[in-house]
Structure 1
Amino acid sequence: MASVTHNSQSAELLAGAAWRKSRYSGALGNCVELATLPGGQIALRNSRHPDGPAVLYTRDEVAAFLSGVKDGEFDDMLA
């Protein structure tokens, strides 16, 4: 059986994280928030559940995702 890597933890345990959201976020709170952590990881959480789970990514993982977004790799998901 393949091993599973867990990369999340409760956002409330990330004391001192400076969360921010995009200026494109909706007024109804339907957005995600990101925070850079002291170790260099980037945390992502649902703004509607600020004490819920936060998913942790490396800077390289976030850079790869953002490059894909900018290149339109995920545009088909909006249809």
Structure 2
Amino acid sequence: MVEDEPHALLECRANDGLSRRRRHFIQDITAIIPEITDLWSSPCSLIEQLWFLLRVSNIEGLLAKFIHDILAIYNDVPVYVAP
């Protein structure tokens, strides 16, 4: 799997902190927009899901904090380099 932004933010499970932070984000935005749970089971690709999230006006602050937190986790974890 190539690490790209949609994978890093919405799918990567290489670190427990990533999964925990993602679950927390999903709980937070679901409390604001309950219908958003349909997004996770939709046939949309990860880039389409991210594109959608970037356009939801009620969650900009939560999304910005989530992206910041995920990138901070990536910054603190050693990069895997294949042999």
* Fold equivalence (TM over 0.5): no
Q: TM-score, normalised by structure 2?
A: 0.30
> Higher relative contact order by CA 8 Å / sep ≥ 6: 1 or 2?
2
Please give the TM-score of this superposition, normalised by the length of structure 1.
0.31
More helix by share: 2
